[in-house]
Every structure is written in structure tokens, then in C-alpha cells.
Amino acid sequence: MATDSESIGSPGLPMLPTTVIGSYAYPSWLWTALEEMRQGKYGETDIVEALGDAVRIAILDQQEAGLDIINDGEMRRWHVFQTWYKRLSGLEPLEPLRKVGFYGHDSSVRYRPMVRLAAPRGLGIVEEFLYLKAHTQKPMKVTCTGPLTMTMPIELGNVYKDRIELAAEVAHVINAELRALVAAGASFIQIDEPSYALLPGSMNEWVEVFNAAIDGVKAKIALHICFGSLGGRPGGKRSYKWMLPQILDARADQFVLEFASRELQELELCKEFAARAEVGVGIVDVKSFYVETPEEIAERLREALGFASPEKLYVNPDCGFFHLPRGIAYQKMKNMVEGTRLVRREIGAA
């Protein structure tokens, strides 16, 4: 966790920095390539080349849209984090719970722990970061699924007494990965936890697991809490109010929150979050194909500034762009940047 002086203000960045959450829309050819990979028609070199090209496209789109902080679009991760389970030892794969209908969180392969989990080769995020670092000069943000969300497809079996114990084990795996990221040069890391509204447990337990995952990690840490993407339908109460004040005990430098898809409901809670840390305010709706104009983005941002100073706000979408067509995702990013620039000029921060 960064010091207070490091977390307040962003050296080298403009006021109201713009960024994304993580996943980016796949280019159309990548869907075809992934199907070919699943059929065994791609060799290892072919796979490395195709996924590398996809990352470079994500970088290019973000840079051309004008974002201040970019990431690799999570292009190497199927459905945000599904590929990571292949790197965890001690898991037995199980059949999906549902195979018919729209693909959702219950359509993926499930797992049962046979022994306590470990990741001898790491989760692969360090390699993703190094590739991103080699292909951009822009400020970067690295994303990592949080320990609670990582347990979603894992049944308890006979190894762990409850999901909190399982999440605590995963937190140790994540902590090792985050420390390795910092050693590789990462300075801004976001932990994604949409499952606070889904899985059993108490907020105090979840915060304790989160804090264990980031313990000793010398970087700016953001905690992203949302209610699902376009494909990941909300499975719990779409509210932050019940999480307060316990969520503020999470040792994050920034809380990244969803507001656009909820018509700015609970935007006033930015005041409470901003009293404790920075706020990444979600003002672009990734659950809608409607492309907000720059003026609409600017109006949402002005409302957010009624509850937090510009020094405390980052500007981002609600969640990742994975389920959106690439053209729509790109235009939403571009308009978010243009709308933010309108507000910067109004407050004399252009």
C-alpha cells in the first residue's frame, strides 16, 4: 500500500486521470482464433503471436482514445480470470453447472481442491505486465482478480472448512504475485472484487482477506467493487451503502466504484469514500450499447465533483469492456476522455 502522500495526487498525470477497469473488447478475428486454439489447430508459437497481437491492439486503442493510464486489456485471460486455474496446483476440474443458454458465471468449468492450493509458476500476471511495459510509454495499471472472486468456481470439497478459509489461501497466492509485480516495476495495481455482493461471509472477513492479499505490497493499490459486466449479470444487491463503514478498513489507496449503470444512484457515497482514499468514479455504462456523448460524461463527472474534490477522483467505466463490440468500447473510451477534458477546462485544470 502506498503512503498517504503517494496516494493523494498523481505526479505526471493530469487532474482527473482517465483509465479503464481491465478487460477490453476482443477484436473480431480473436474470437475465431480462440476457437481454432480450442480445437488444437494453433501451435504454441501461433498462440503467443496471436495473443500478443491482441494486446497490442488493446494498447493502441487505449492510446488513440487518449487515456491517461492504460493496461493490457486482459487479452490473455479468458473471461477475466478463467485461465488462472490451469496455473493453480491441487485442483480437480468438474463439469459446468449449466451448459445451455447464455454464457454466465455458472457456465464455466468448476473445480474441487484435492490438496491445499498453490501456484508454483505464479499466475502469469508478471509476464503480462512485462509485455505491456515493453510496448508502451504510457502510465500503466495492472489488474488482478481478488481472492474472494477467485474462489467462485471452486467447490470446498474436504480440504477447506469454508469459503473464507479458501479465499485466505488464494490471498497468499495473490500476495506472492503482487510482490513479484512490484519487483518487476509495477507501481499501480487494481484488485477486482465483484463478489462482495455474491458470496457468503461478512464484510469484516472479506476486508481481512483483501488486506492479507496486499500485505507488504509497495505500490498504489486500488480496490474495484462492482456488480458485474454486460455478460456477468448482477447476482446480489446493487448497493454500496450496506458495505460502509467496514469496507473503509480495506487498506486500499483507491476505491473504484460503479455508478453509470445505476443512473448515478449512491453517488453521494463518494464523499465517504473520498474522505478515506481516492475514488475511481464509474461514469460509463458497460452494460449498455448506448454510447454516451462527451457532454453526458461531463455532466456525470460534474455531479461526482459535488461530493469529492478533483484531486481525489479518477475517471473510469463501471467495469470492463469484454462483452461489448470493439467499436462501441472504443467510442465509449474516446467520449469519456473528451468529456473529462471538458470538465478539466471548466475547473482550470486543462
328-333 long-range Cβ contacts below 8 angstroms, 24+ apart:
328/25, 328/289, 328/291, 329/24, 329/25, 329/61, 330/25, 330/61, 330/64, 330/65, 331/291, 332/284, 332/286, 332/291, 332/292, 333/20, 333/61, 333/62, 333/65, 333/67, 333/284
pLDDT of residue 235: 62
**Least-confidence region, from 53-62, 180-189, 219-228, 287-296:** 219-228
**Least-confidence region, from 94-108, 199-213, 308-322:** 94-108
> Could you give the C-alpha distances from 95 to 35, 110, 111, 155, in angstroms and in order?
19, 6, 8, 12
Across the chain, mean pLDDT equals 91
pLDDT of residue 232: 58
Sheet holding 220-225: strands in order across?
Answer: 142-145, 188-192, 220-225, 254-258, 278-282, 313-316
**Cβ neighbours of 9 (radius 10 Å):** 11
pLDDT score of 152 more than 90:
no
The confidence band for 102, taking pLDDT boundaries of 50, 70 and 90, is low
Q: Do the beta carbons of residue 104 and residue 153 sit within 8 Å?
A: no
Maximum average pLDDT range among 27-41, 82-96, 221-235? 27-41
Higher pLDDT, 196 or 63: 63
Give the separation between CA 275 and CA 245, rounded to whole angstroms: 12
pLDDT score of 126 more than 60:
yes
The confidence band for 231, taking pLDDT boundaries of 50, 70 and 90, is low
Higher pLDDT, 60 or 106: 60
pLDDT score of 103 more than 80:
no
The confidence band for 5, taking pLDDT boundaries of 50, 70 and 90, is very low
pLDDT of residue 226: 87
pLDDT of residue 227: 85
Higher pLDDT, 7 or 56: 56
pLDDT score of 196 more than 90:
no
Contacts of 106 (CB under 8 A, 6+ apart): 96, 97, 98
Q: What is the pLDDT of residues 301-310, one digit of tens each?
A: 999 999 999 9
pLDDT of residue 314: 98
Average pLDDT for residues 40-66, to the nearest whole number?
Answer: 96
pLDDT of residue 81: 61
Average pLDDT for residues 222-242, to the nearest whole number?
Answer: 79
pLDDT of residue 83: 78
DSSP H helices in the chain: 4-7, 28-38, 44-65, 125-134, 147-150, 163-183, 203-214, 270-274, 294-305, 326-346
Handedness of CA 177, 315, 209, 188 (dihedral sign): positive
pLDDT of residue 99: 79
In the block, cell 502506498 appears at 2
> Could you give the C-alpha distances from 35 to 47, 109, 175, 325, in angstroms and in order?
12, 17, 33, 18
* Grid coordinates given for 37: 486454439
Higher pLDDT, 82 or 294: 294
Average pLDDT for residues 188-209, to the nearest whole number?
Answer: 86
3-state secondary structure of 105: coil
Average pLDDT for residues 157-181, to the nearest whole number?
Answer: 95
Q: Hey, what domains does the chain have and what are their CATH numbers?
A: 4-346 (3.20.20.210)
CA 230 from centroid of its chain's CA atoms: 14
Contacts of 52 (CB under 8 A, 6+ apart): 131
Q: Do the beta carbons of residue 4 and residue 300 sit within 8 Å?
A: no
